[in-house]
Amino acid sequence: MDVQIILGSASDIIVAKKAVDVLKEFGVEYNATVASAHRTPERVEQIIKEAHEMGVKVFIAIAGLAAHLPGVIASKTVKPVIGVPVDSNLNGMDALLSIAQMPPGIPVACVGIGRGDNAALLACEIIGACDEKMREKILRYRVKMAEKVEQDAKALGL
Protein backbone atom coordinates (compact mmCIF):
# COMPACT_ATOMS: atom_id res chain seq x y z
CA MET A 1 0.00 0.00 0.00
CA ASP A 2 1.36 3.41 -0.97
CA VAL A 3 -1.07 5.89 0.61
CA GLN A 4 -3.08 5.76 3.83
CA ILE A 5 -6.04 8.16 3.91
CA ILE A 6 -7.51 8.94 7.30
CA LEU A 7 -10.72 10.94 7.57
CA GLY A 8 -11.39 12.65 10.88
CA SER A 9 -15.10 12.04 10.39
CA ALA A 10 -17.37 10.22 7.96
CA SER A 11 -18.69 13.66 6.97
CA ASP A 12 -15.34 14.22 5.19
CA ILE A 13 -16.20 11.58 2.55
CA ILE A 14 -16.78 14.08 -0.27
CA VAL A 15 -13.24 15.42 0.10
CA ALA A 16 -11.83 11.90 0.44
CA LYS A 17 -13.59 10.83 -2.77
CA LYS A 18 -11.65 13.50 -4.68
CA ALA A 19 -8.39 12.00 -3.41
CA VAL A 20 -9.46 8.43 -4.12
CA ASP A 21 -10.44 9.30 -7.70
CA VAL A 22 -6.97 10.70 -8.40
CA LEU A 23 -5.17 7.81 -6.71
CA LYS A 24 -7.19 5.35 -8.80
CA GLU A 25 -6.39 7.30 -11.98
CA PHE A 26 -2.67 7.01 -11.18
CA GLY A 27 -2.89 3.36 -10.13
CA VAL A 28 -1.80 4.06 -6.56
CA GLU A 29 -2.63 1.49 -3.89
CA TYR A 30 -4.38 3.10 -0.97
CA ASN A 31 -6.44 2.42 2.11
CA ALA A 32 -9.04 4.78 3.55
CA THR A 33 -10.60 4.78 6.99
CA VAL A 34 -12.08 7.05 9.67
CA ALA A 35 -10.37 7.86 12.96
CA SER A 36 -10.55 10.88 15.22
CA ALA A 37 -7.46 12.45 16.74
CA HIS A 38 -9.55 13.43 19.76
CA ARG A 39 -12.20 10.72 20.12
CA THR A 40 -10.18 7.66 19.05
CA PRO A 41 -6.47 8.45 19.49
CA GLU A 42 -5.58 4.79 20.05
CA ARG A 43 -7.25 3.91 16.74
CA VAL A 44 -5.18 6.58 14.98
CA GLU A 45 -1.99 5.07 16.42
CA GLN A 46 -3.02 1.56 15.38
CA ILE A 47 -3.77 2.69 11.82
CA ILE A 48 -0.37 4.36 11.58
CA LYS A 49 1.35 1.23 12.88
CA GLU A 50 -0.49 -1.03 10.44
CA ALA A 51 0.19 1.35 7.56
CA HIS A 52 3.91 1.22 8.33
CA GLU A 53 3.78 -2.57 8.33
CA MET A 54 2.13 -2.44 4.90
CA GLY A 55 4.86 -0.18 3.48
CA VAL A 56 2.95 3.09 3.33
CA LYS A 57 4.81 5.94 1.64
CA VAL A 58 2.48 8.88 2.34
CA PHE A 59 -0.38 9.70 4.71
CA ILE A 60 -3.30 11.93 3.71
CA ALA A 61 -5.26 13.28 6.69
CA ILE A 62 -8.60 14.97 6.05
CA ALA A 63 -10.05 17.01 8.90
CA GLY A 64 -12.18 20.03 9.74
CA LEU A 65 -12.65 22.33 12.70
CA ALA A 66 -9.58 22.12 14.98
CA ALA A 67 -8.08 19.70 12.42
CA HIS A 68 -5.46 18.17 14.69
CA LEU A 69 -5.47 14.83 12.86
CA PRO A 70 -2.65 15.64 10.39
CA GLY A 71 -0.42 16.90 13.20
CA VAL A 72 -1.11 13.92 15.41
CA ILE A 73 -0.24 11.59 12.54
CA ALA A 74 2.94 13.56 11.81
CA SER A 75 3.96 13.25 15.46
CA LYS A 76 3.79 9.45 15.16
CA THR A 77 5.62 8.92 11.84
CA VAL A 78 8.50 10.23 9.76
CA LYS A 79 6.58 9.53 6.55
CA PRO A 80 5.18 12.56 4.69
CA VAL A 81 1.78 13.71 5.92
CA ILE A 82 -0.50 15.80 3.73
CA GLY A 83 -3.29 17.62 5.53
CA VAL A 84 -6.54 18.51 3.80
CA PRO A 85 -8.60 21.12 5.62
CA VAL A 86 -12.38 20.69 5.38
CA ASP A 87 -14.86 23.55 5.20
CA SER A 88 -16.96 22.75 8.24
CA ASN A 89 -16.80 26.05 10.15
CA LEU A 90 -15.38 29.53 9.57
CA ASN A 91 -15.24 28.72 5.83
CA GLY A 92 -12.55 26.14 6.57
CA MET A 93 -10.02 28.72 7.75
CA ASP A 94 -9.92 27.20 11.24
CA ALA A 95 -8.93 23.83 9.77
CA LEU A 96 -6.49 25.40 7.30
CA LEU A 97 -4.63 27.28 10.02
CA SER A 98 -4.65 24.27 12.36
CA ILE A 99 -2.91 22.22 9.67
CA ALA A 100 -0.59 24.86 8.24
CA GLN A 101 0.65 26.28 11.56
CA MET A 102 2.51 23.23 12.86
CA PRO A 103 5.28 23.72 15.43
CA PRO A 104 8.93 23.40 14.40
CA GLY A 105 10.14 19.85 13.87
CA ILE A 106 6.81 18.20 12.98
CA PRO A 107 5.99 19.38 9.45
CA VAL A 108 2.72 18.71 7.67
CA ALA A 109 2.13 19.59 4.02
CA CYS A 110 -1.15 21.44 3.60
CA VAL A 111 -3.28 21.75 0.46
CA GLY A 112 -6.24 24.05 -0.07
CA ILE A 113 -9.57 23.75 1.68
CA GLY A 114 -11.42 20.72 0.34
CA ARG A 115 -8.65 19.87 -2.16
CA GLY A 116 -8.48 16.11 -1.70
CA ASP A 117 -7.52 15.93 -5.37
CA ASN A 118 -4.44 18.07 -4.83
CA ALA A 119 -3.49 16.01 -1.79
CA ALA A 120 -3.54 12.88 -3.93
CA LEU A 121 -1.54 14.57 -6.69
CA LEU A 122 1.04 15.69 -4.13
CA ALA A 123 1.20 12.13 -2.78
CA CYS A 124 1.83 10.92 -6.35
CA GLU A 125 4.60 13.49 -6.74
CA ILE A 126 6.20 12.34 -3.48
CA ILE A 127 6.05 8.75 -4.67
CA GLY A 128 7.36 9.90 -8.05
CA ALA A 129 10.51 11.25 -6.43
CA CYS A 130 11.75 7.65 -6.30
CA ASP A 131 9.58 6.04 -8.97
CA GLU A 132 10.23 6.85 -12.63
CA LYS A 133 6.93 5.31 -13.82
CA MET A 134 4.96 7.52 -11.46
CA ARG A 135 6.94 10.56 -12.57
CA GLU A 136 6.03 9.77 -16.19
CA LYS A 137 2.34 9.45 -15.28
CA ILE A 138 2.46 12.88 -13.61
CA LEU A 139 4.14 14.43 -16.64
CA ARG A 140 1.47 12.94 -18.96
CA TYR A 141 -1.24 14.25 -16.63
CA ARG A 142 0.23 17.74 -16.82
CA VAL A 143 0.35 17.59 -20.62
CA LYS A 144 -3.34 16.64 -20.66
CA MET A 145 -4.15 19.58 -18.38
CA ALA A 146 -2.28 21.97 -20.68
CA GLU A 147 -4.06 20.56 -23.73
CA LYS A 148 -7.42 21.10 -22.01
CA VAL A 149 -6.59 24.76 -21.38
CA GLU A 150 -5.60 25.18 -25.06
CA GLN A 151 -8.92 23.60 -26.13
CA ASP A 152 -10.83 25.90 -23.78
CA ALA A 153 -8.99 28.93 -25.18
CA LYS A 154 -9.90 27.97 -28.74
CA ALA A 155 -13.50 27.20 -27.83
CA LEU A 156 -13.92 30.60 -26.20
CA GLY A 157 -14.10 32.26 -29.62
CA LEU A 158 -13.76 35.85 -28.45
Q: Residue 43 maps to which CATH number?
A: 3.40.50.1970
- Please report whether residue 13 resides in a domain: yes
pLDDT, one tens digit per residue, over 95-105 is 999 999 999 99
Using alpha carbons, list the distances in angstroms from residue 86 to 5, 17, 98, 158: 14, 13, 11, 37
- Please report whether residue 154 resides in a domain: no
Q: What is the pLDDT of residue 23?
A: 98
Range of the domain at 79: 3-131
Q: Residue 91 CB: number of other CB atoms within 10 A?
A: 10
φ, ψ at 31 (rounded to 5°): -135, 145
Among candidate residues 6, 15, 1, 2, the one with its CA nearest the CA of residue 73: 6
Q: What percent of the chain is predicted at pLDDT more than 70?
A: 100
Q: What is the largest CA-CA distance in the chain?
A: 58
pTM above 0.85, yes or no: yes
Q: How far is Cα 69 from Cα 36, in angstroms, rounded to an integer?
A: 7
- Please report whether residue 153 resides in a domain: no
- Total structural domains in the chain? 1
Spell 102-114 as b/e; 16+ CB within 10 A means b: beeeeebbbbebb
Q: Which helix (H) or strand (E) holds 124?
A: helix 116-128
Confidence of residue 156 (pLDDT cuts 50, 70, 90): confident
- Please report whether residue 138 resides in a domain: no
